[in-house]
Structure 1
Amino acid sequence: MNELHLSLNIDGLPLFKSSKVTLWPVLGRIINLEPEIVFPIAITCGSSKPQCLEFLKETVDELKILMQNGLLIGDKAYSIILSCIVCDAPAKSMVKAIKNHTGYSSCDRCVIRGRSVHRRMTLADCTTLPLRTASSFRAQTDPEHHRGYSPFCDLQVDMVNYMHCVCLGVMRRLLLRWIRGEKSTTKHVPLKRPSLSAHQVQIIGERLLALKTHLPKIFARKPRSLVEVDRWKATEFRVSKHVTEQLAEFAHKLLTSFVKKSSELYGELFPVYNVHMLLHLSKDAITFGGLDKCSAFRFENYMQQILKNVRSGKNLLSQVVRRHKESVSMPIVNDQQSVKKFTSERPNNSYILENGHCCEILEVLDDSIAPNLKCQVFTSKYPLFQSPCTSNLIGAYTTSLTVAIIKRIPSSYIASTAILLELANGKIVFLGIAHEFFY
């Protein structure tokens, strides 16, 4: 490996509920190196959102040097490539010095012009619109899109984030629309009734809770009832999302169809900025080799570590820097973070093999780094559903014990983690987890 692909994150971190003091860390991670570790590059503290981008100057200047000259580690030289900057919509508009997501020319991917509907900005046009390019952005050919000059204009970089766009944006909006309807914003907009009855919401909530015992440990948060949807985190909305780069073209057709019909299904106020950005999602999956490579999940987790390091309101930056120095100076007891640990205990023993077969680990035969496994392998599988597309596209299969054989296999044959569900009719369902593939 001769290249290091760097991903940056810039976002605000409120420290106290009783104060406006906020940290603005610039975080980084190497996305083509396992395990992916988040590290701080710069941290700014203030009582408000930065009014200018001067706090990014040193970071950008250092990046220029690294991208031009590379990085020498020992006797080996590495090229530094800035793959993307991960921001939510408000931070992205600030860092790129462009109009906010509520503006008419807010989309930084295409030249769509929004339409104000009852004081809400909507972007419902799904026709083929000219895309913005690096040259047109730097030349500021669309004056209505820009608010100033971004220090990142001198660097080849893109800024995306599906965590806030899809998980906390569209999925959250859809769930709230289904279970609560949409309140009237003005006297001219009638109340939109919920799509689901109270009984249906209760049944879905019960099924979500029943999934708790079937989800493997890679899910940091287990499902909660829809009654608590206001407190759901992005990882909980993520359970319902599957977009893979291998099927990006098909995914784009589905997403385009959804955006086109969203106004008809959920009203003319529905296709806001986050909904429109779904049209550009499949391209990001191809560009970055998967949406997890340009998501904010790892950065948000690290932000919580920073928050825990602040223990009083005095010398805030000193506290964060000292705690960071302590963490990096601690001796590493076990440097096996990237080694996959296998178990025969449910629900953490279900996988999809490289040949496409589903399997369940019955016994780990040795304790080496790449152990051999005694598995129950299901040699035949069928799509869980066929409409609107075959479920094979998202790794959802059904099988049964009648086609199962006991087999010894190397752990290197495993391709992805899966969720195993046993149905009342004796059938077994395997759900491949799209965002947790082995490399």
Structure 2
Amino acid sequence: MTYPCADYALRTDESFTNMADESHHHEGPHPFIGSSVRMVSQFPLDYMHLVCLGVVRRMLHIWLRGPLNFRLPASIVERMSAKLLEMRSFIPVEFARKPRSLRELDRWKATEFRQFLLYTGPVMLGTFLDQNMYYNFMLLFSGVAILVSPRLSCHTQYARTLLKCFVSHFGEIYGKDQIVYNVHGLVHLAGDVQLHGCLDSFSAFPYENYLHKLKKLIRKPEFPLAQIIRRLSEIRIMEAPLSCTSFKKPHYVGPIIGGLSVKAQYGEMTCDKWTVKVSTGDNVFVIGNDICCIHNIVECSDGVYVVYKEFSDKSLFFDYPFNSDYLNIYKISQTSDSFKCVKVSELVVKCTVLPHRDGFVAIPMFHAF
């Protein structure tokens, strides 16, 4: 079944309760009739399945295994896989998985499709895809990036416009028969964000990620639910409150800014929001309005500081469907000569920095971890 038209009147809680669409309610009243459950607004779409496991996987299958007029040559696919593998060492520790080869596409998890959509795909695909196909992908990336970001998700109308353009453009490129339920569902995603908050406020990712922890609590096949409840109760009783910040890799080699009363220096610090390191992959953050590279973590008598250098060469990464600075995405290449320092609390957001041609692309982390 396909959905080539996006201009139908939307169902509402009231129209559903009144069974206005007779063909939809041909079997009579629904089981929740008379309850306080709102049958439309309280059942939002889950972007883990709709977007990541749905649309993104469909696009990759078209490029790798679809009709010949859209299928990429094997040599291009090999180069794309090599590029993904090259990016592995640049992926921050917050990501559950590193990029894998496209040869392993059938074993990719939802988090890998999300990583491809929001981070690795926009950086690498411009080199390998036809411009129309790349621009189409960028419409999807831009709309989802806005809706997944707690800071930008208030711009639902703009995201809705971008995703509607994507669906229309997707049908023009790949054929109307490709506008299946998942692709059509994108036009309703912004409405759910308007009601419930950014996409990670109601996605299935937290539940999927917790399943492996629950599985480890089960020791035998009988009464799995009772085992889980007992183990969780024991954990709550025995667990001591932990410090929200921990330090690793102490050293004495600097750099240090004059005027700091230094107690200790570290190469790694983990806090509630993210992990800060002085090594590649976890050392680039936004501080104020600048993209900065962390060179040292310093514990002082009045708090914890980071010593950093700003990236002095910063430019737009893309200009379609809008300029990349709207999402705080930039091409960066070299840092300034002078060191600066600031308290750790001044770090705004961590960046994923990926190699691109003769420099790098810095993308702030949009989604929740």
TM-score by length of 2: 0.74
CA distance in 1 between counterparts of 2:162 and 2:296 reads 41
Correspondence 1:349 to 2:304: no
What is the CA deviation profile of residues 193-219 of structure 1, one whole-angstrom value per residue up to 9, with x for unaligned ones? Answer: 542111111111110011100010111
**Structure 1: tracts of 5 or more residues without a match:** 1-120, 183-191
What secondary structure is seen at the aligned counterpart in 2 of 1:366?
strand
Residue 436 of structure 1 deviates from its aligned partner by 4.6
* Residues 351 and 415 in structure 1, CA contact (< 8 A), matched pair in contact too: yes
Correspondence for 1:244 among 135, 146, 163: 146
CA distance in 2 between counterparts of 1:405 and 1:286 reads 44
Question: Which runs of structure 2 are paired with 1:354-369 in the superposition (5 Å)?
Answer: 355-366=288-299
CA distance in 2 between counterparts of 1:369 and 1:270 reads 59
Question: Which runs of structure 2 are paired with 1:173-184 in the superposition (5 Å)?
Answer: 173-181=58-66
* Residues 370 and 412 in structure 1, CA contact (< 8 A), matched pair in contact too: no
Assess, with a 3 A threshold, how the Cα gap between structure 1 residues 263 and 208 changes in structure 2: closer, same or farther: same
Correspondence 1:338 to 2:338: no
Assess, with a 3 A threshold, how the Cα gap between structure 1 residues 211 and 388 changes in structure 2: closer, same or farther: same
Assess, with a 3 A threshold, how the Cα gap between structure 1 residues 226 and 372 changes in structure 2: closer, same or farther: same
Assess, with a 3 A threshold, how the Cα gap between structure 1 residues 235 and 152 changes in structure 2: closer, same or farther: farther
Question: Which runs of structure 2 are paired with 1:6-405 in the superposition (5 Å)?
Answer: 121-127=1-7, 129-146=8-25, 148-150=30-32, 153-155=35-37, 158-160=42-44, 161-181=46-66, 194-239=70-115, 240-241=117-118, 242=141, 243-245=145-147, 246=152, 247-336=155-244, 338=272, 340-353=274-287, 355-366=288-299, 371-379=304-312, 381-401=314-334, 403=336, 405=338
Structure 2 residue aligned with 1:433:
365
* Structure ranking higher in strand proportion: 1
Residue 417 of structure 1 deviates from its aligned partner by 1.1
* Residues 122 and 271 in structure 1, CA contact (< 8 A), matched pair in contact too: yes
What secondary structure is seen at the aligned counterpart in 2 of 1:401?
coil
Assess, with a 3 A threshold, how the Cα gap between structure 1 residues 142 and 221 changes in structure 2: closer, same or farther: same
Letter in 1 for 2:49: H
Letter in 2 for 1:198: A
Assess, with a 3 A threshold, how the Cα gap between structure 1 residues 403 and 338 changes in structure 2: closer, same or farther: closer
What secondary structure is seen at the aligned counterpart in 2 of 1:154?
coil
Greater relative contact order: 1 or 2 (C-alpha under 8 angstroms, separation 6 or more)?
2
CA distance in 2 between counterparts of 1:152 and 1:412 reads 50
Residue 256 of structure 1 deviates from its aligned partner by 0.9
Letter in 2 for 1:233: K
Residue 422 of structure 1 deviates from its aligned partner by 4.9
* Residues 275 and 282 in structure 2, CA contact (< 8 A), matched pair in contact too: no
* Residues 93 and 275 in structure 2, CA contact (< 8 A), matched pair in contact too: no
RMSD: 2.6
Letter in 2 for 1:122: T
* Structure ranking higher in helix proportion: 2
Residue 394 of structure 1 deviates from its aligned partner by 3.1
TM-score by length of 1: 0.63
CA distance in 1 between counterparts of 2:82 and 2:302 reads 39
